[in-house]
Amino acid sequence: MSLTTQLKELADQMATKIPVEAQAVMENAINDLKNSNLIDKALKTGDVLPNIVLPNVKGEAISLQSKLKSGKKLVIAFYRGGWCPYCNVELVALQKILPEIQAKGAELIAITPESPDNSLSTTEKNELTFEVLTDKDNKIANSLNLAYQLPEELNVLYKNFGIDLKESQGNTEKTLPIAATYVVEASGKVTYHFLKEDYKLRADTSDILNAI
């Protein structure tokens, strides 16, 4: 089953469990984000990846440029956090194609605003063997025009669902990255991008593999 199909099935399941009023709040937030034209300014195919150094789950500083200089391509996926069911489905799907990614001479990197401790929990829960890096305060996501401020109504809704972004991220910014996936050549040039305001949609793994 493709990742796209898995996500669609999850969305259908969630729609039967979440009250209509809550669904309206989430859909309004997605539409507002679309109307903001955030994606228009985001990093895209043809752009060059800027210098990025972030800590992994062990607190070690990881330089994406160092990996590129070693001759590797990079597959970079931004995700919201381990509390997001769609993110977990995506991460597991990415783990499954990791051998194919590596066979094509690329390395997989996931980036999240979650703290390293929370990222470690997500890594262990999903049995991930690729690097998961913490983008504290969404600084990198902001610089790439991928981060957005949650509407207060949505933030309240998340809290009612037991989602605490302050605990997850270690700040009170109430910001999250949009769904974004990139393939970057060893030269640093972006040759594939997937950008969606709707958090329920992610780059399909077959498209990622074809882009490497």
Q: How far apart are CA 29 and CA 24, in angstroms?
A: 9
pLDDT tens digits, residue range 45-87? 999 999 999 999 999 999 999 999 999 999 999 999 999 999 9
pLDDT of residue 211: 98
Which amino acid is residue 200, in one-letter code? Answer: K
**Rounded mean pLDDT of 120-128?**
95
pTM of the model: 0.96
- Cα–Cα distance between 39 and 178 in angstroms, integer? 9
pLDDT score at 167: 94
Please, are residues 140 and 52 in contact by the beta-carbon 8 Å criterion? Answer: yes
For residues 132-163, b (16+ Cβ closer than 10 Å) or e, as one string? bbbbbebebbeebbbbbebbeebeebbeeeee
CA distances from 125 to 59, 60, 83, 162, 188 (A): 18, 20, 11, 19, 32
Domain ranges of the chain: 3-211
3-211 fold = Glutaredoxin (3.40.30)
Backbone φ, ψ for residue 97 (5° rounding): -100, 5
